[in-house]
Amino acid sequence: MSASHSPQAKAYWKKNIRIVLSLLAIWFTVSFGMSILFVDVLDNIRFFGFKFGFWMAQQGSIFCFVVLIFVYVYKMNKLDRQYGVDEDRDHPADTHPRDKTSQE
Amino acid sequence: MDVQTLTFIFVGTTFALYIGIAIWTRAGNTDDFYVAAGGVPPLANGMATAADWMSAASFISMAGIISFIGRDGAVYLMGWTGGYVLLALLLAPYLRKFGKYTVPDFIGDRYYSNIARGVAIVCVLFVSFTYVAGQMRGVGIVFSRFLEVEITTGVFIGMSIVFFYAVLGGMKGITYTQVAQYCVLIFAFLVPAIFISMLMTGNPVPQLGFGSTLADGSNTYLLDKLDQLSAELGFAAYTAGKKSTVDVFFITAALMVGTAGLPHVIVRFFTVPRVRDARISAGYALAFIALLYTTAPAVASFARVNLINTVHNAEYKTTPSWFKNWEDTNLIAWVDKNGDGKIQYSAGKAFNGKPQFLEERGLAGERKFSNPPTDNRNELYIDRDIMVLANPEIAGLPNWVIALVVAGGLAAALSTAAGLLLVISTSISHDLLKKMLLKNISDKQELVFARMSAALAVIVAGYFGIHPPGFVAQVVAFAFGLAASSFFPAIFMGIFSKRMNKAGAITGMISGLSFTAGYIIYFKFIDPSANSAQNWWFGISPEGIGTLGMLFNFVVASLVSKVTAPPPNEIQDMVDDIRIPKGAGRSYHHAKL
């Protein structure tokens, strides 16, 4: 009877996978694609004082990584609420494991 | 005030701060000790993760390495940040939902097997000890250069500080000292970078100064100037790649996947209250890390230009004091090949190996060494590790900036060492003793064992710092290769494949591991002379082989799991359960009782 077996949960997981895959596609493109495989091609483009490929490899890809995680957090929190699996619906006492006692 | 007095003040103050925090946040039970009772706010966890992650290698060595290899330095920049995307999207939230203490906990429970747990414990210990030895060494170098004490004394001081707050405070103490250490290290890294960027380009933001024109009125872009200087001295262009594309691809992938699989980073995500917090704290962590990682390549290029301008064709007698100081620390050496009393710097090695210094001095007063000089024009040897530490001196920045950099380097080394020591002690007291050997010990006894193993780990790490095994530099490839070829696939499949079973995971881990370890051992230890591109498989260097090991692990695990029995129903239910965030607090309770 656990909520994790329902068709709801299956649909949630599918959407989750789709979000992860699309973000990882961007992750792969900016790092392995633009900064490694096609870096020499992109180096022909001038980007301020940089060659663009060089800039992607040493700066741009890192900025993209940070943005990707924040986009993931935003999308997943939204998805959690949509499917009612977010932690705000937990019993308040359960969300704070610290109140557990350890006296023996 | 002179540099040394200032350094004593800065280092003393920061150490006092770390100890104060440790006393204030000491651990009362194993829950505190292992995961700070799962009550760390996400922002604090992000900072702690950043400090945990950025080691002596990131702070002291990375910019120096980039400075010497140019564009290929991107393997470290991307490898050590891109892994966080994998960690955040594929591992962290689910491991938090699983809600226990360690990586072997997950592997052992998910694959219902103490063999799997045992394999994981061995990997954790190996990876963490490898890593911690380097940190203690970093502490030793910093102390010996700036506080003029013996390396041994330096390591002892570092050990006692870590001993104090790791043994007393456990994860709780470590977390909050790491927050303080992040602030110290990022401030110490940014201040000189901003100063130098201002001096060289007039732009206070190093990331922008990196792409600006020089402030010398020449209207040349910094990177163009650097390419031009490199060409004049016979080096390859700074902005061009030297490694093969295949190798860069595989090294970057191995470092990324290895980063996502390193136990001391993963365990930080067990310390936050909710799944949601695990996700966002990975974001904060990477943002805090990116602040240093996007500054480092700028620092690398500034330092390179400054170095060439300062030392090339300079009279040895009139070189600034930093040059002679580092020469006294054995990290710079100069041989006057053409006898003109000036330093000629160009491509190629001035001599082979590390300098073996003699007692005598040369004509200009330089230290002599016994290595026979090579026949190229280059007369200068510079250890890459000094670039960040020497950079403020090379640029002529005020003394307090130099002292600040010292405190920052120590913060970076100590914070990482503490995180690793905690993982080591947890593996021994929790995974090995409580879960496998002495199942009946009480929480109080387990805490005593945890403290004892932390103490033992500090001592072993200190020993490695004082007597560094010659292979430390070589085994760094090991740490990432092993994490990439063992933990990452095992954890990933444990979450994303319900069908993955005990037999598949164990054979996968063992084959990935032994393949990677075998390749590295062959090229690094058995036949180092064969370690060149024409002998590598598919042109992949030992640094990048973990990627192939990981693929190997995936393939073997999938094949074996297809022909063996699926995991029991309760395990499949557990996988279903960790896939949804709801009830994270509750599952934590169940895990604990």
Is the model's pLDDT at B135 over the cut of 80?
Answer: no
pLDDT band with cut points at 50, 70 and 90 for residue A103: very low
CA A95 centroid distance within chain: 23
Written as one letter, the residue type at B486 is S
- Mean pLDDT, range B477-505, rounded to an integer: 90
Residue carrying the six token digits 């003793």: B433
Given 3.40.50.720, 3.40.50.300, 3.40.640.10, 1.20.1730.10, which CATH number is that of B3-306+397-592? 1.20.1730.10
| Residue A54 to residue B239, Cβ atoms within 8 A | yes
The verdict on a CB contact (< 8 Å) between A20 and B89 is: yes
Percent residues over pLDDT 70 in chain B? 97
d(CA B271, CA B101): 9
Residue whose pair of structure tokens reads 């004892």 in the numeric block? B452
- Whether A95 has a pLDDT exceeding 50, the answer reads no
Is A104 inside any structural domain?
no
Helix %, strand %, coil % of chain B (to 5): 75, 5, 25
B107 and B494 in contact (C-beta within 8 Å)? yes
Asked whether A58 and B75 are in contact (CB, 8 A), the reply is no
Q: What is the pLDDT of residue B507?
A: 93
The answer to which of B143-147, B186-190, B549-553 has the lowest mean pLDDT is B143-147
Residue A90 has what pLDDT? 57
The answer to the question of residue A35 being in a domain is yes
Between CA A101 and CA B167 the distance in angstroms is: 22
For residues B573 and B109, is the Cβ–Cβ distance under 8 A? Answer: no
pLDDT of B79 > 90? The answer is: yes
Task: Please name the residue of chain A whose CA is at the shortest distance from the CA of residue B585.
Answer: A95
> Which position has the token pair 């390193």?
B262
Contacts of B223 in chain A (CB under 8 A): 49-51, 54
Among chain A residues, the shortest Cα distance to B256 is held by A31
Chain A residues with CB-CB distance to B71 below 8 A: 39, 54, 57-58
- The Cα–Cα gap between B386 and B294 comes to 19
Task: Work out how many CB contacts closer than 8 A connect A with B.
Answer: 193
Taking alpha carbons only, the member of A74, A66, A62 closest to residue A19 is A74
Q: Is residue A89 part of a domain?
A: no
What residues of B are in contact with residue A80 (Cβ under 8 Å)?
A: 276, 581-582
Examine residue A91 and state whether it is found in any structural domain, yes or no. Answer: no
Decide if pLDDT at A16 tops 50: yes
Q: Answer yes or no: do A36 and B90 touch at CB < 8 A.
A: no
Q: A45: domain range?
A: 9-84
Give the residue range(s) of CATH 1.20.1730.10 domains in chain B: 3-306+397-592
Whole-complex ipTM: 0.91
Tell me the C-alpha distance between B530 and B288, whole Å.
40
Q: Would you state the structure tokens that stand for residue B419, as one six-digit string? A: 């995180």
Q: 3-class DSSP state for residue A48?
A: coil
Residue A3, in any domain of the structure: no
Stretch (H or E) spanning B431: none
Q: Residue B381 forms beta bridges with which residues?
A: B333
3-class SS of residue B360: strand
What secondary structure letter does DSSP report for B377? S
Inter-residue contact B507 to B560 (CB < 8 Å)? yes
- Both ends of chain B: CA-CA distance in Å? 58
Q: pLDDT of A31-41, one tens digit each?
A: 999 999 999 99
How far apart are alpha carbons B536 and B519 in whole angstroms?
9
**B422/A93: higher pLDDT:** B422
Query: Nearest CA of chain A to the CA of B269: how many Å?
Result: 15
**What are the backbone angles phi and psi of residue B26, rounded to the nearest 5°?**
-65, 155
Cβ atoms of B454 and B166 within 8 Å: the answer is yes
CA of A45 to nearest chain B CA: how many angstroms apart? 13
Total Cβ atoms within 10 A of residue B53: 28
Please name the helix (run of DSSP H) or strand (run of DSSP E) that holds residue B274, with its range, or none: none
Could you give the number of structural domains in chain A?
Answer: 1
Distance from the Cα of B256 to chain A's closest Cα (Å) equals: 11
Question: Nearest CB to B211: which of A24, A48, A100?
Answer: A48
- Digit-coded pLDDT (tens) for B4-17: 889 989 999 999 99
